[in-house]
């Protein structure tokens, strides 16, 4: 499975790339804005366009970087997608355009199939698309059929919706069982027939495998290392994780205990084997 880093922090991208385990980067306007504001405390001249170019160059040619459009209509998203691709892909040839699968907002703006139309339009222009805000397997299916190279199911947000339905108190990074939960009245909770974010990704993976669909699943909204593990187990092609989750994936108390025991057992004669002297 591939690992993407979900961040717009240059420092985090540089460090993670240096470890040799990152295959791509996902960003969004909020993450970029936050990173640029922080950087302006050091460099007042920093602007979003130059910052995005730094992200692309730092990730490098072999690491796709998702950049998101801002429009809600098919025409706006198509135009913005082409603009972003033409402006930034020349930096390192690694730009992917993020398009929401459906753009209707709470005000009723946008259209049911405007996202799908934009995906089709950009695909026809040979611009790679990451279809985002996926909350059901059927959304992933139609995005893939429209030509999306990636679909991004928001696993953690499904878990949040189910917990809110049960009026549970929880922290964002709390683990949610892949097999689902019951409420206080012993009712099994679901969201559009899904029992968890892992279940969402699992069902998409089964559909894509069944019909040999050439579209990669990016498990998104990953909250903790266990969830990342479960995404790999159910067939996600990619997990995009925050820097904190990536670091947590490498750690375990047993490993700490083992390091303590190992270093405690080292003797001078063994350490002498590594001496450069004769």
CB 241 within 8 A of CB 22: no
pLDDT band at 204 (very low <50, low <70, confident <90, very high): very high
Tally of domains in the chain: 1
Bridge partners (DSSP) listed for residue 131: 99, 151
CA-nearest of 229, 242, 223 to 1 is: 229
Q: Is the pLDDT of residue 41 over 80?
A: no
Tell me if residue 268 is catalytic.
Answer: no
pTM beyond 0.85, yes or no: yes
- The whole-angstrom separation of Cα 190 and Cα 161 is 9
CATH number for the domain that contains residue 46: 3.20.20.70
Active-site entry in 98, 107, 145, 206:
98
The string of pLDDT tens digits covering residues 159-189 is: 999 999 999 999 999 999 999 999 989 999 9
Segments forming the whole domain that contains residue 113: 2-274
In this structure, of 3-12, 173-182, 263-272, the range with the lowest mean pLDDT score is 263-272
Helical (H) or strand (E) element with 256: helix 253-265
Q: Is the pLDDT of residue 38 over 90?
A: no
Cβ atoms < 10 Å from Cβ of 259? 10
pLDDT band at 276 (very low <50, low <70, confident <90, very high): confident
The string of pLDDT tens digits covering residues 84-116 is: 999 999 999 999 999 999 999 999 888 999 999
Task: Report the pLDDT averaged over residues 53-70.
Answer: 96
- The whole-angstrom separation of Cα 212 and Cα 96 is 22
């Amino acid at each position: 499975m591939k690992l993407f880093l979900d961040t717009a922090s240059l420092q985090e991208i540089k460090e993670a790339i240096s470890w040799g385990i990152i295959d791509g980067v996902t960003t969004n306007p909020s993450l970029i804005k936050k990173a640029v504001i922080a950087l302006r405390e050091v460099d007042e001249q920093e602007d979003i366009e130059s910052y995005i170019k730094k992200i692309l160059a730092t990730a490098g040619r072999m690491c796709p970087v998702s950049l998101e459009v801002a429009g809600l209509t098919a025409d706006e998203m198509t135009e913005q997608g082409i603009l972003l691709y033409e402006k930034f892909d020349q930096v390192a040839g690694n730009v992917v355009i993020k398009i929401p699968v459906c753009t209707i907002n709470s005000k009723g703006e946008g259209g049911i199939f405007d996202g799908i139309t934009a995906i089709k339009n950009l695909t026809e222009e040979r611009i790679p698309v990451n279809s985002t805000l996926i909350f059901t397997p059927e959304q992933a299916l139609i995005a893939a059929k429209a030509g999306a190279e990636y679909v991004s199911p928001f696993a953690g947000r499904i878990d949040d919706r189910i917990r809110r339905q049960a009026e549970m108190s929880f922290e964002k990074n709390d683990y949610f069982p892949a097999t689902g939960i019951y409420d206080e009245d012993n009712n099994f909770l679901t969201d559009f027939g899904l029992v968890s974010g892992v279940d969402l990704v699992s069902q998409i993976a089964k559909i894509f495998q069944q019909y040999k669909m050439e579209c990669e699943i990016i498990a998104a909204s990953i909250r903790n290392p266990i969830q990342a593990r479960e995404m790999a187990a159910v067939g996600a092609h990619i997990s995009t994780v925050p820097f904190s989750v990536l670091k947590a994936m490498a750690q375990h108390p047993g490993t700490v205990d083992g390091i303590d025991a190992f270093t405690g057992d080292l003797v001078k004669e063994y350490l002498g084997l590594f001496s450069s002297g004769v």
